[in-house]
Amino acid sequence: MRQSVKTIAIMLAAILVTLGLSESAGAGVISTEAAIEMQERSARIQRINSVLARDSVQSQMIRLGVQPDVAAARIASLSDSELQQLEARMDELPAGADSALTVLGIVLLVLLVLELVGVTDVFKSF
Integer Cα distance of 17 and 29 in angstroms: 15
45 binds other proteins, rule: CB under 8 A: yes
50-69 binders of other proteins (CB under 8 A): 61, 63-66
The answer to whether 10 contacts other proteins (rule: CB under 8 A) is no
- To other proteins, the closest distance from the beta carbon of 94 in angstroms equals 4
Q: What is the spatial distance between Cα 114 and Cα 110, in angstroms, rounded to a whole number?
A: 6
Residues 75, 54: contact at Cβ < 8 Å?
A: yes
Q: Does 88 bind other proteins (CB under 8 A)?
A: no
Rg (CA), the chain: 21
Closer Cβ to other proteins, 52 or 116, answer by number: 116
d(CA 88, CA 86): 5
For other proteins, give the closer residue by CB, 55 or 121. 121
Whole-number Å distance between alpha carbons of 97 and 81:
24
10, 13, 29, 58: which one contacts other proteins (CB under 8 A)? Answer: 29
24 binds other proteins (CB under 8 A): yes
